[in-house]
Structure 1
Amino acid sequence: MRLSHSQVLDAPIEHVWANFMDLEVVGRCFPGATVTEVEGDDFVGNIRSRLGPLTVWFDGAGSLTERLTDTHRARIEATGHERHGLGKATIAVAVVLSQAEGHTEERPATRARMTTDLHFYGSALEVGRGLVQRASDPLVERFLHRMASPDAATAPGEDDGDAVDLWRSATDLLGSFTGRRRRRS
């Protein structure tokens, strides 16, 4: 499944790029994630997601597999296994940073484009691309704003309770479809 996100951040491109190159900062900024070990471009960690009343933990490892400083392009790939189950997930995130329109010396702005290839195997919730895109939007928005924060490199990680509740996002989306159908009838 491929997801795409684009966000304008109120931060200089050099600052956002430096944060993306620090895997510990990436782990601190991603809601529900913890990076426990970094060695060069490789990392080990875990991520927590909520599916309604269920909490799903994935333990895994990954690498910064591409780093093109002159064009501000990077790629991170990871694989994880469900801690208490048979689920497996693979993810590849490509990030491209560019100067945002309206960028000035006094008001720097960076456009961050993320393309995510995500695959779940044995997931507790089988959902379509549209639903996953909608559920991921607030998660990625929080992540990118944290990456642009002036204190992203030194701030402690956010509480794991900040992980996105995929079940609530799914039921909100389904409720909006049901409401539209009722209005059409």
Structure 2
Amino acid sequence: MKLSDSCTIDADVATVWTGLLDAEVLKACVPGCTEMVGSPSEGFEATVVQKVGPVKATFKGAVTISDVVEPETLTISGEGKGGAAGFAKGGADVRLEAAGDTTILHYNVDAKVGGKLAQLGSRIIDGFAKKMAGQFFENFSQTVGAPAPDGSDEATNEKKKSWLKSLVG
């Protein structure tokens, strides 16, 4: 399954780049992620609980970051095993483009699944993958992007303040 898209994030390239390499930010953004530990240089270990059609599984896996050209491009590769549900593996090439005070994040994803997941059929898997990618980038944009102009989203604003404090303090 291949997927290409882009999203605009209301933050500068440096902030977006830092967020892409932060385990806590990634944990907050990956739907169903219950644990994310590690570092960009050594890789991350993650646990994600997901339900795809009738199949629910806990995936444990490793994520590595390679082909880094700071702060422009990187490749994220991962592989997770979900027991009897099967496995998922793939990668994403990410490119950041400055657009004034915002950043356009472009991504190309290539993913494969096996086991019971593969038996669900490509329509279900492709739809689920698109939904997951959309949720991740919406969450990521809200986590690293600027607060809402009216300041109405207090929980998101507090999350951002906490993340930014951990970077500088």
Cα offset, 1:52, TM superposition: 3.8
Cα offset, 1:133, TM superposition: 4.2
Aligned pairs, number: 146
In the alignment, the residues of structure 2 paired with residue 46 and residue 33 of structure 1 have an alpha-carbon distance, to the nearest angstrom, of 6
Larger radius of gyration: 1
In the alignment, the residues of structure 1 paired with residue 161 and residue 130 of structure 2 have an alpha-carbon distance, to the nearest angstrom, of 23
* 1:21-52 C-alpha deviation (Å, 9 max, x unpaired): 22332222111123343144311111122134
Higher fraction of strand: 2
Identity of aligned residues (%): 22
In the alignment, the residues of structure 2 paired with residue 65 and residue 123 of structure 1 have an alpha-carbon distance, to the nearest angstrom, of 30
Compute the TM-score of the two structures, normalised by the length of structure 1. Answer: 0.67
Cα offset, 1:111, TM superposition: 0.8
In the alignment, the residues of structure 2 paired with residue 24 and residue 114 of structure 1 have an alpha-carbon distance, to the nearest angstrom, of 21
* 1:85-139 C-alpha deviation (Å, 9 max, x unpaired): 1612211111111023xx3xxxx211111111101111334332x6544433343
5+ unaligned residues in a row in structure 2: which ranges?
Answer: 145-158, 164-169
Q: Which contiguous aligned blocks of 4+ residues in structure 1 show a shift greater than 6 angstroms?
A: none
1:114–1:35 CA distance, 2 compared to 1 (3 A): farther
Aligned to 2:61: 60
Contact kept? 2:52, 2:125, Cα under 8 Å = no
Contact kept? 1:56, 1:82, Cα under 8 Å = yes
* Cα RMSD, aligned residues only: 2.4
Correspondence list, 1:109-124, <5 A: 109-124=102-117
Compute the TM-score of the two structures, normalised by the length of structure 2. Answer: 0.73
1:137–1:87 CA distance, 2 compared to 1 (3 A): closer
In the alignment, the residues of structure 2 paired with residue 131 and residue 123 of structure 1 have an alpha-carbon distance, to the nearest angstrom, of 12
Cα offset, 1:141, TM superposition: 2.7
